[in-house]
Amino acid sequence: MDEELILPGMSEREIAIRRRVHRLAEFYRHVFFYVVVNATLWGINFWQVSQMTGRVNGWMYWAVWPTLWWGIGVFVHGLSVLPFWSFFSQEWEDRKVAEMMQKDRP
């Protein structure tokens, strides 16, 4: 995150929330570009197939590959950001460290 978004006097909680919102915004941008670029690729692919003469088969739809592999990347990015997968978050790690430190106290 850009450090200029962290202003003097901000609490640790506000900094953590700003960082979380920043990561969420990055994920939404990632999804937006995924949809726009892949819609364009599919449009090009369908146009190419419509211009072909002869028999059309499934292998002519090459746009499936960038959509699939990039989609896996978007999914993994979502796992690290969205709250229903909170065990991947920095907050979860911090809570777990505090919990373990509490258990190990003599």
What are the tokens at 79? 């796992």
For 47-97, write each residue's pLDDT tens digit: 999 888 888 787 789 999 999 999 999 999 998 887 665 665 677 777 778
DSSP letter, residue 18:
H
Considering only CA atoms, which of 82, 86, 8, 69 is closest in space to residue 34? 69
Please check the confidence at residue 33 and state whether its pLDDT lies above 90. Answer: yes
What's the confidence (pLDDT) of residue 32? 98
Please check the confidence at residue 1 and state whether its pLDDT lies above 60. Answer: no
Q: Please state the domain count of the chain.
A: 1
Range of the domain at 97: 3-103
To the question of pTM greater than 0.85 for the whole model, the response is no
| Average pLDDT of the segment spanning 16-23 | 85
